[in-house]
Structure 1
Amino acid sequence: MGPFALAVETKSSSKASSDVSNRKIQNLQLEARKCFASVNVEKEKPFDFLRILFEGIIAGGTAGVVVETALYPIDTIKTRLQAARGGGKIVWKGLYSGLSGNLAGVLPASALFVGVYEPTKQKLLSLFPDNLSAFAHLTAGAIGGLAASLIRVPTEVVKQRMQTGQFTSAPDAVRLIASKEGFKGLYAGYGSFLLRDLPFDAIQFCIYEQLRIGYKAAARRDLNDAENAIIGAFSGALTGAITTPLDVIKTRLMVQGSANQYKGIFDCVQTIVREEGPPALLKGIGPRVLWIGIGGSIFFGVLESTKRYLAERRPPPSQHSKHD
């Protein structure tokens, strides 16, 4: 082999090595750009609406019941703090008042929310570009919250009336509210509920999903239950603090009953600020952040572990479907 041939081979080898290095750098840069708002590998799998819906319903219902049962006393304290006018004392008895009736609503509401959220999220992720995955999560959270509100609102009205001592049993609460206030009484504060819960659901799930994607990309592995729980706690606590004023307004409108102290959302805000001062809009922020932070930890931890459990037990694809 002559000197010229050796020089050509060396130059070709250097060029090939340089090309490989450039490709690696480009791949790393592309991965870095996708780190925060990338779509996970599930996007590439075939979209099975019924399976995703079913698994979402099971996982959502399970997570909702577990978190509601564990944290119901904190929610009761929060509600009583928000409902109290001026320096009214908080009643510490009956912190589990209305739990059974609430679970009857929480189970289908949580199941419906996640059952709608999961397929909507995955469909939107397949339609949106990678750098807009946050909008897919926001939109899916809002749509899931809107669907679940049909069950959540009557459940919330009954729960909060019982927490504030107006009724002693859920069936009596439903019957008396419907007889005195009509069917619309069960949807008291519906507008304020949507005003609070649609942004809450959208923001919380967006923060959770985006943090999870970023952490997953940085760690280059699937997250464990503890990591999912920590991310869920942070996203829940942050969203809970931001939406506390909306929660106070919703509580006041829901517990006013037939007295009709407030004529609507804006009148409620004006009355609270005028009579109690702006700080009243942050009533219950401590228990709310604590409740939703711990709740987010439990909810997302149970949700992800249940989803993984169901995924591991999916039947293998049939030979017929493989040929298809």
Structure 2
Amino acid sequence: MASFDQKEINWDKLDKTKLFVVGAGLFTGVTVALYPVSVIKTRIQVASKDTAHKNALDVLKNIVKVDGIPGLYRGFGTVITGAIPARIIFLSSLEITKVAAIKMLEPFKISEPVQAAIANGLGGMAASVSAQAVFVPIDVISQKLMVQGYSGHTRYNGGLDVARKIIKMDGFRGLYRGFGLSIMTYSPSSAVWWASYGSSQRVIWRLLGHNSQYELSAPSQWQLACVQASGGIFAGAVASCVTTPLDTIKTRLQVMDNTKERPRARQVVRSLIAEDGWKGLYRGLGPRFFSMSAWGTSMIVSYEYLKRLCAKVDD
């Protein structure tokens, strides 16, 4: 007999080497599939008032017309180079914090969905904060490559050229432009995403008639994937609605040319509101929602499968 609890595989039950090696290939494939959405979202967020291409379809057509399919992958090399160490840091922090949080919450006897929301939320926040040291420079460099030559932005000869010019102008701190806003954006976003995912999938399992005492049969791989995907879609919807304004502000600050006078966050807010009203803060919400839902769903289904694949066999 297999119990419901076996769907959860804790950190101490995983083969870490296999997890990181196989995971690197798996997440690279997901990134390849969804990277163009990030390029489109970023271009929408930094578009000037006079730029005609302000919706996702127009931006897509413009990129393909001007640069062809390779234009949808500007900055991809930089992202992949930094993604592996960033993912290792993220996943390690996530799983270790989740386990610690669950143990801390056990004496309080709270319901399983609430416990999962809190533990996953704390895990997601800790993971995001830990990984920002790697993620932020990647963001700064890749986003400049995504928008180069667009709406008046400078052109570069690859990621190294971007890094060299940033360091020459601002020193290494230039690679961390928007670091505070990144923490404010990604940490709550990660916390909300993981909390929503952790609680929603447990609610879904209960609606399907499963609970922690369910011991008649283990769910099928298809059932697992469907429930995890549903949780990922719900989590992406919640997180994108909550954090898109901060993401828009952060992106604008990070892609500012080094030769321009750098505005503060509140000036960026005023500029967006002046151009589009309050809806300006939600520029790129559609692509961001799609990206977070599609990426989150693909990532979580892949990651949960990866955990089952890398689970240690009991002696």
Whether TM exceeds 0.5 here: the answer is yes
Larger radius of gyration: 1
Is structure 2 residue 49 aligned with structure 1 residue 72? no
1:1-324 matched pairs, under 5 angstroms: 41=5, 48=12, 51=14, 57=20, 61-62=24-25, 64-90=27-53, 91-92=62-63, 93=67, 94-128=71-105, 129-131=108-110, 133=115, 134-165=117-148, 166-219=155-208, 220=210, 222=219, 223-259=223-259, 261-311=261-311, 314-317=312-315
Q: How many residues align?
A: 275
Q: Percent identity of the aligned residues?
A: 28
Q: CA 1:280–1:44 in structure 2 vs 1: closer, same or farther (change >3 Å)?
A: closer
Compute the TM-score of the two structures, normalised by the length of structure 1: 0.77
Instruction: Out of 150-159 and 54-63, give the one that drifted further.
Output: 54-63
Amino acid paired to 1:192: L
Question: SS in structure 2 opposite 1:82?
Answer: helix
Tell me if structure 2 keeps the 8 A contact 1:232–1:296.
yes
The one-letter code matched in structure 2 to 1:237 is A
Please state how far the C-alpha of 1:264 moved relative to its aligned partner: 2.6
Deviations 1:28-86 (A, max 9, x none): xxxxxxxxxxxx8479999738x476676457645542332111111101101111111
The alpha carbon displacement at 1:237 in A equals: 2.8
Check 1:305–1:47 CA distance in 2 against 1; reply closer, same or farther (3 A cut).
closer
| 2:258 aligned counterpart, secondary structure | helix
Q: What's the offset of the Cα at 1:114?
A: 1.3
Shift of 1:281: 0.9
Q: Are 2:156 and 2:162, in contact at CA under 8 Å, matched by a contact in 1?
A: yes
Change (3 A) 1:46 1:182: closer
What is the DSSP-based 3-state SS (H/G/I as helix, E as strand, rest coil) of the residue aligned with 1:145? Answer: helix
Verify the 8 A CA contact 1:63 1:300 in the aligned structure 2.
no
Moved more, 144-153 or 52-61: 52-61
Check whether the contact 1:80–1:164 (CA below 8 A) recurs between aligned residues.
yes
After TM superposition, the score normalised by the length of structure 2 is: 0.79
Shift of 1:127: 1.2
Matched to 1:127, the amino acid is: M
Cα deviation for residue 126 of structure 1 reads: 1.2
Deviates more, 1:98-107 or 1:73-82: 98-107
> SS where residue 258 of structure 1 aligns?
coil
Between the aligned partners of 1:296 and 1:207, the Cα distance in structure 2 is 11
SS of 1:167 mapped into structure 2: coil
Task: Say which is worse superposed, 241-250 or 84-93, in terms of deviation.
Answer: 84-93
Give the Cα separation in 2 of the matches to 1:295 and 1:44: 21
- 1:214-242 deviations in Å (ceiling 9; x for gaps): 22334325442233123212211331132
Aligned residues of 1:233 and 1:297 also touching (Cα < 8 A): yes
What is the alpha-carbon root mean square deviation over aligned residues? 2.6
Tell me: higher relative CO, structure 1 or 2? Use CA pairs within 8 A at least 6 residues apart. 2
**Within 2, Cα distance between the matches of 1:87 and 1:75?**
22
Q: How many Å separate the matches in 2 of 1:162 and 1:74?
A: 15
Q: CA offset at residue 110 of structure 1?
A: 2.1
Looking at structure 1, the residues matched to 10 and 287 of structure 2 have their Cα atoms a distance apart, in angstroms, of 42
Deviates more, 1:301-310 or 1:255-264: 255-264
For structure 1, the residue ranges without an aligned partner over 5 or more in a row are: 1-39, 318-324
Kindly provide the amino acid, as one letter, of the partner of residue 294 in structure 2: I
Secondary structure of 2:73's counterpart equals coil
Distance verdict in 2 for CA 1:153–1:100, change over 3 Å: same
